[in-house]
């Protein structure tokens, strides 16, 4: 699967991982960000104690390097302002040390797949209120954007295998990207929460169509060339709490 463009993202081969990659010892004790998560959007944090954006985000020394791949995009004048970047490593023979496979997608031919984990049809627990939940399979949901596992699966060529890796103790985010773990409410000690929203300043609505678990999904997406950041502090919303290891949120498609 070479670097390719799919609906909603650019898939970028960040190079091979042919031996077991091991993070520096300091990564084991690096603090993680505790966030509040909307119970309906499983595995995704939306609010945190402050709105300071992490730099360089998830792609630091604690994940396999993607810097050369990003530099090549810039040198080739690739327009990356209008789409997300999803990095993967190919060939990739093993997950990093202290990481574990969270899903496998094998493509045999044009229509035949063998799927497991996040690539299959996992059952999600949706938090409706503070005291009630319901379960749904992933294929019952119509996502508002093409999920990253679905992007990777659709981009595989016949004969290729994709493996999604997560740090041990973490779960693959069903819509992607990254992995998460849930934590006790007591770990979020702040009395307020803040969210960062990227608001397009020059956006155009476009119709997009993609195949999702055998269904053809038609939805609206935005194409933009610039954005601004807006923060909204709040004390009045109820959210579940999730512990997000953003610095190990590598978009974990491994081929």
Cα–Cα distance, 38 to 107 (Å, whole number): 33
| pTM score of the predicted model | 0.73
Cα–Cα distance, 33 to 87 (Å, whole number): 22
Beta bridge partners of 107: 113
Closest CA to 46 of 197, 187, 189, 182: 197
- Scanning 116-250, the segments in alpha helix (DSSP H) are 148-155
**Edge to edge, what strands does the sheet with 179-182 contain?**
45-47, 33-37, 240-244, 179-182, 171-172
Q: For the chain, give every domain's residue range.
A: 4-254
- Note the pLDDT of residue 10: 79
- pLDDT (tens digit per residue) in 121-170: 767 766 666 667 777 777 777 777 788 888 888 888 899 999 999 999 99
Q: Over 50: is that where the pLDDT of 234 sits?
A: no
On whether the CB atoms of residues 180 and 244 are closer than 8 A, the answer is yes
CA atoms within 13 A on the CB side of 19: 2
């Amino acid at each position: 699967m070479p670097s390719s463009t799919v609906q909603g993202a650019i898939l970028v081969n960040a190079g091979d991982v042919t031996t077991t990659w091991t993070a520096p010892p300091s990564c084991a004790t690096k603090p993680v960000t505790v966030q509040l998560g909307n119970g309906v959007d499983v595995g995704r944090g939306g609010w945190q104690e402050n709105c300071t954006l992490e730099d360089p985000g998830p792609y630091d020394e604690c994940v396999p390097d993607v810097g050369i791949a990003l530099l090549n995009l810039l040198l080739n004048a690739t327009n990356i302002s209008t789409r997300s970047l999803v990095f993967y490593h190919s060939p990739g023979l093993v997950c990093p040390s202290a990481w574990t496979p969270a899903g496998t997608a094998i493509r045999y031919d044009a229509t035949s797949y063998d799927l497991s984990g996040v690539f299959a049809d996992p059952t999600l627990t949706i938090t409706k209120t503070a005291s009630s939940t319901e379960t749904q399979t992933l294929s019952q949901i119509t996502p508002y954007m093409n999920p990253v596992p679905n992007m990777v699966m659709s981009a595989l060529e016949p004969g290729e295998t994709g493996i999604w890796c997560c740090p041990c103790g973490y779960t693959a985010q069903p819509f992607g990207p990254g992995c998460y773990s849930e934590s006790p409410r007591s770990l979020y000690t702040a009395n307020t929460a803040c969210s960062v929203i990227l608001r397009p300043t020059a956006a155009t609505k476009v119709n997009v169509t993609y195949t999702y678990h055998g269904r053809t999904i038609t939805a609206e997406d935005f194409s933009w060339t610039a954005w601004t950041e807006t923060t909204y502090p709040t004390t009045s919303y109820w959210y579940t709490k999730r512990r997000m290891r953003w610095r190990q949120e590598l978009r974990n498609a491994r081929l």
